[in-house]
């Protein structure tokens, strides 16, 4: 895998709300970094999550309904330069699960094509993307830093803001995949 920080051709071609895409990418990577202290992810995780976050809404160019599925298909069909077919499938699946139903290897064809360890990585990273998308719903760039803590009972994600507290209603709705994947409740805590 070649690491790249530049925007892919499909991002430039299909992304309609670049500000949202960049902010969701920023929040996703902040969440990954916060939980990496607790869980220790593979180095590729950052690159996969970065691309999936920027591409998560490109399916809107096809239709609002099921845009997450359309985003996955665009990534799979057109591919992101410099990534292997499997890496494109990983990124596509991460983008797909930023909303909608939980991953199901028995029902979801593209998810089931991945080896078990890659499916686990997909659901972990997709859970971060899903939360990041919810955190950006006010579209006000309010979060400066995040840190994570695991207790025997739960995970806490601490949010340092610019002074205003963002509305967490959408983030609360979008933490289902995280809680399903990591088998513990997730709390948002303002610092």
Residue 170's CB: how many other CB atoms inside 10 A? Answer: 16
Model's pTM, two decimal places?
0.95
Q: Which of 111, 137, 129 is nearest to 177 (CA)?
A: 129
Instruction: Provide the token pair at 16.
Output: 């309609």
The tens place of each residue's pLDDT in the chain, 191 residues long, gives: 444 556 889 999 999 999 999 999 999 999 999 999 889 999 999 999 999 999 999 999 999 999 999 999 999 999 999 999 999 999 999 999 999 999 999 999 999 999 999 999 999 999 999 999 999 976 677 899 999 999 999 999 999 998 777 789 999 999 999 999 999 999 999 98
- Model pLDDT, residue 163: 75
Q: What is the rounded distance in angstroms from the CA atom of residue 94 to the CA atom of residue 58?
A: 13
- Model pLDDT, residue 6: 61
Q: What is the rounded distance in angstroms from the CA atom of residue 147 to the CA atom of residue 92?
A: 27
CB 180 within 8 A of CB 186: no
Determine the topology of domain 9-141 in CATH: Hypothetical protein af1432 (1.10.3210)
Q: Which of 166, 168, 169 is nearest to 141 (CA)?
A: 166
């Amino acid at each position: 895998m070649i690491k790249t920080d530049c925007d892919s051709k499909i991002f430039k071609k299909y992304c309609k709300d670049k500000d949202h895409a960049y902010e969701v990418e920023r929040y996703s990577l902040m969440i990954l970094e916060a939980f990496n202290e607790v869980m220790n992810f593979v180095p590729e995780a950052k690159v996969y999550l970065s691309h999936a976050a920027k591409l998560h809404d490109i399916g809107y160019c096809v239709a609002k309904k099921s845009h997450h599925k359309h985003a996955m298909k665009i990534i799979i069909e057109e591919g992101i330069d410099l990534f292997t077919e499997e890496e494109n499938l990983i990124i596509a699946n991460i983008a797909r699960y930023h909303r909608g139903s939980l991953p199901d290897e028995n029902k979801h064809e593209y998810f089931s094509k991945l080896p078990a360890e890659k499916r686990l990585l997909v659901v972990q990273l997709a859970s971060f993307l899903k939360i990041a998308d919810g955190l950006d719903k006010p579209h006000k760039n309010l979060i400066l830093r995040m840190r994570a803590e695991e207790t025997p009972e739960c995970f806490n994600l601490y949010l340092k803001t610019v002074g205003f507290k963002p509305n967490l209603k959408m983030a609360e709705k979008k933490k289902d995949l995280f809680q399903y994947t990591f088998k513990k409740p997730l709390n948002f805590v303002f610092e």
